[in-house]
Structure 1
Amino acid sequence: MQVKDTAAVVTGGASGLGAATAAALAERGARVFAFDLPASIEQAAPVPGVQYVAVDVTDPEQVADGIGVAAAGDAPLRTAVNCAGIGPSMRILGRKGPHDLAVYAKVVQVNLVGTFNVMTLAAEQIAATDPLADGARGAVVNTASIAAYDGQVGQAAYASSKGGVVGLTLPAARDLAQHGIRVNTIAPGIVETPMLATVSEEFRAGLAAGVPFPQRLGRPEEFASLVLTLVEHDYLNGETIRMDGALRMAPR
């Protein structure tokens, strides 16, 4: 499926993986609607072809309104990419006591429920478009993490939420097959995002040293390139792909 002259939604689109993905889709000729929180949008640099829309993925009404904006133009909505996510660290039993249930629920709400909500409402609009070859109408790409498989100490909430995204992939692809909508997931490893920009170069080098090959951190542009492949390759469906340089995370 070609993305040129179509509309695309990217959550978390103002920074990191989402910003790189939004820019890549726009460069390919898509009209991109980047969903993010107002504070993140205020700090985002303008990108040709990308329109920022203030959306909290945990708010069903805001998501529905944002999807409506993306679907209302001349370009048919055919792509939805979920990059929005949070990852606070907390042990199940730590020095300050048991894991805060509200924190656990918040992580799951943003990372898993938010992904499901955006995918579902976007799929409703994509399903209403005219079919392409083989009855194809669009594609969804969700973001998990290698923590779904190799969750480390303190990642109970994050790994749970991302494991849920992995588990969602195949049934979602099967549910949406009758509408011509494919669903795939990327599970990135350690990628150079704004979160990592706050740590020391020495710490970053230590992280990179643990990657078998190439022995460096991943780049947001590489994630975006994989998104484009998953969107454009019509026979990739129901798959979760690790993008991690063969990294398997240690317990700590």
Structure 2
Amino acid sequence: ISDRHAVQEYFKLFSQAHKQLDALINCAALIKSAKIYAETSQKPLPLQEIEEVMQTNLIGTFDVIRNAVPLMIESKHKKKVIINTTSTSAFDGVTSQSVYSASKAGLVSMTLPLARELAQYGIRVNSIAPGLFHSKHLLKSVMRQKEVEEYLCNINQVVNRLGKPSEFVHLVETVIDNQMLNGVNIRLDAGGRLIFS
């Protein structure tokens, strides 16, 4: 997603095979946990790391959307929709994730303006902000299973477990199907709020 030439080539090949696009689901997520100023090394976060996260999560998503829109305009389907995956970090960012939080907040901020821009073509734009969901990435690089369970007990979720991928998919299907959902960001976090640490 961060390689604009690869994105263009993908949509070129897609258009040759399919001619139109009804739904676009963006799920880019590059997480780099690092403070803007590292106390141990007494150095600021390298700009390259900030650019890499922004390029993948925000600019890359914009690039995919701008390449997809012409194909979506051609579609005669009545339920055309773009769904961007944001994050509860866009609202409840934690220490060491200011760059990630900013990249995901950018996706939240683009939702309503894009929905207004694309309404004339019958294309809806929504975003989903998942909380903590079961993924290999979360359990390998961020927390261990026991740490996750302890953390979930402290953030006052209605269910003390990670979200299931099937629950995310169910919401995506609902957003695709329900034409009244447009220009909104939906939190999918069981009411949990990330704890500042």
Aligned match of 2:53: 107
CA contact 2:79–2:177 (8 Å) conserved in 1: no
Matches within 5 A, 1:6-45: none
SS at match of 2:193: coil
- Separation in 2 of the partners of 1:138 and 1:88? 33
2:89 paired with 1:144: no
Question: Does structure 1 residue 85 correspond to structure 2 residue 85?
Answer: no
Q: Flag the 1:137–1:243 CA change in 2: closer, same or farther, 3 A.
A: closer
Matches within 5 A, 1:1-252: 57-74=1-18, 76-95=20-39, 96=41, 97-129=43-75, 131-132=76-77, 136=78, 138-198=80-140, 199-209=143-153, 210-252=155-197
Shift of 1:214: 1.3
> Are the counterparts in 2 of residues 137 and 179 from structure 1 also a CA contact under 8 Å?
no
Say if 1:144 and 1:165, in contact at 8 Å, map to a contact too: yes
Residue 22 of structure 2 aligns to a residue whose secondary structure is strand
Q: Distance in 2 between matches of 1:109 and 1:124?
A: 22
Say how many residue pairs are matched: 192
For residues 74 and 106 of structure 2, the distance between their equivalents in structure 1, rounded to whole angstroms, comes to 27
Tell whether the 8 Å contact from 2:34 to 2:96 is kept in structure 1 after alignment. Answer: yes
Partner Cα separation in structure 1 for residue 190 and residue 175 of structure 2: 18
Q: Deviations over 1:113-153 (max 9, x none)?
A: 01111111111111122x34xxx361100011011011100
Task: Tell which has more relative contact order, 1 or 2 (C-alpha 8 A, sep 6+).
Answer: 2
Structure 2 residues without counterparts, runs of 5 or longer: none
Q: Which whole-Å CA distance do the structure 2 matches of 1:59 and 1:247 have between them?
A: 34
Moved over 6 A (4+): none
> What is the CA RMSD across the aligned residues, in angstroms?
1.5
Q: Gaps spanning 5+ residues in structure 1: where?
A: 1-56
Q: TM-score, normalised by structure 2?
A: 0.92
Q: 1:211 offset after TM fit, Å?
A: 4.1
1:173–1:182 Cα contact (<8 Å) kept: yes
What SS does the aligned partner of 1:63 have?
helix
Q: Distance in 2 between matches of 1:74 and 1:165?
A: 27
What is the CA distance between 1:201 and its match in structure 2?
2.4
Partners of 1:137 and 1:91 in 2: CA distance: 41
- Does structure 2 retain, via aligned residues, the 8 Å contact 1:63–1:118? yes
Distance 1:186 1:251, change over 3 A: same
